[in-house]
A and B are shown apart, each in its own frame.
Chain A
Amino acid sequence: MSKFRKKGKKGQPAVNTAALPDIVFMLLFFFMVTTVMRETSLKVINVTPKATEVSKLERKSLVSYIYIGKPIKALQGAFGTAPRIQLNDAFKTKEDIFQFVEMERDERDEAERNMVTWSLKVDQETKMGIVTDVKQELRKANALKINYSTKKTDMIQN
C-alpha cells in the first residue's frame, strides 16, 4: 500500500490541455460536414451505373439533380414499381420538368443561369423510355448541359 502512496507528489498540476486540439478538430470537422449535408432525401431506388471515362462535376452550386428510378420499398405500396421522376423532394411527372428548370434557374445568379449542369441520377435498371422523355423535356426548356451520373470503375463488364 505504501508503495503507491509514495508516488503522489504534492503541488498543483497545470490543467492538461493536450486534448484541446482534438476538441478543435472535432468542431472543425463537425462544421465542415454539416454545412454540406443538406440534400434531398431519396424516394427512388438509385443505383447509378458504372463507367470508366467519368469526370468530376466542378461546381456543386451549379448542379441540379433529377432522380429517376423505382420508388423505394416503403413507398411501393402507394406508388407502385414503375420508374418515376423525383425533383427536389417529391415525385413529379415529365410535364413538371419545364417548371422545375425555370425555378432552379431563378435560384441562381443572373450570370450563372446558363451554366447550370443538370445531373441525371438514373437507376441502372431503368428503361430508356422515361430517360428519353426527360431529355426531350430538358431540351424544350433549353437545359442542354447534362450529366449522366455514374460511378467510376476500372473495367466495364459485358
Chain B
Amino acid sequence: MAKREISEINAGSMADIAFLLLIFFLVTTTMDTDTGLIRRLPPPPEDIPENNDKIKQRNIFEILVNANDQLLVEGEYIQVTELREKAKEFIKSSPSFPNVSDASNAANPNLPEFKAEEIPVFGNILVSKQIVSLQNDNGTSYEMYIKVQNELVAAYNELRNELAQQKFGKSYDELSQQSGSSESIKEKMKAIKKVYPQRISEAEPKKVGGTE
C-alpha cells in the first residue's frame, strides 16, 4: 500500500526558483568592465633632458581651459562641440593631406609644417609636426577635462579612420578588429598611427581660479 503512495515530486516551480536566483545575482552584482580613456603620462621630470628646442608657435595647437570651464583654443573662445573639427583641421595640417609636397606648408600659414618621415607601408612621406598642448586650471572640473580629452582623441581617431579608408578601403576601427588574424594589417595600423601620432602635451596647471 505504501509503495503506491510514492508520487512524482512536483518540480515545475524549480525552474522559476532557479531563474529568480539567477536574476537576483545578475541584478545585484555589477559586471563591471572598466572602460575609459587610456593615456600615458610623461616620465618623471628628472629623466628627460630639458628639451626646449624652440617648437614653432604654428606647430602648437594651444588649448586653455579656465576655472569656469571655458575653452580658449588658439586664442579663440569656442564651445567643446566645436573643438573636434578645429583639432582635426589642425592635425591634418592641410586640407589636401596626404597629397602634399610643400614641407613648409606655405599655403596654410596658420597650420603646422610638415617633415619627411620614413613610414613602413607608405614609404617616405610628409607628416605634420603637430603638437596639441593642453593647459587647464586647478579649478577646472574633471568633467570638462575629460570632454576636452575625449574630443582630442576623437579627432585623432576620425583622422586615422579617414586615412585608412582612403588608403586601404577600410576604416582604422575595422582594421583593428581584424588585426588579430594578420601581420600585414598590424603593419598598416602601425603606419597609420605613425602618420597621425597622438601628441597631447599637458602643461602644469595654473592656480588662478583657486582650488576647492
Q: Which A residues lie at the B interface, using CB under 8 A?
A: 10, 12-13, 15-16, 18-19, 22-23, 25-26, 29-30, 33, 36-37, 39, 48-49, 51-57, 60, 63, 82-83, 117, 119, 122-132, 135, 138-140, 142-152, 156, 158
Residue interface bits B114-153, CB-to-A below 8 A is 1, else 0 = 0000000000000000000000111111110111011101
Chain B residues in 8 Å Cβ range of A125: 141-143
Chain B residues in 8 Å Cβ range of A53: 37, 150, 153-154, 157
Interface of B is mostly: mixed
Contact B138 A54 (CB under 8 A): no
Chain B residues in 8 Å Cβ range of A33: 25-26, 29
Shortest distance from the beta carbon of B83 to any chain A beta carbon, whole Å: 10
Shortest distance from the beta carbon of A128 to any chain B beta carbon, whole Å: 4
What are 30 A-B interface contacts by the 8 Å CB criterion?
A18-B15, A29-B25, A48-B36, A51-B146, A52-B150, A53-B37, A55-B36, A117-B38, A119-B34, A124-B146, A127-B211, A128-B139, A129-B205, A129-B212, A130-B211, A132-B204, A139-B41, A140-B44, A143-B41, A144-B42, A145-B40, A146-B40, A146-B41, A147-B36, A147-B37, A148-B36, A150-B37, A156-B81, A156-B151, A158-B81
Contact B6 A12 (CB under 8 A): yes
Complex CA–CA separation, A124 to B24 (angstroms): 30
Residue interface bits B1-41, CB-to-A below 8 A is 1, else 0 = 00110111101001101110110011001011111111111
Residue in B19, B33, B35, B79 with the greatest tally of chain A CB atoms within 10 Å:
B35
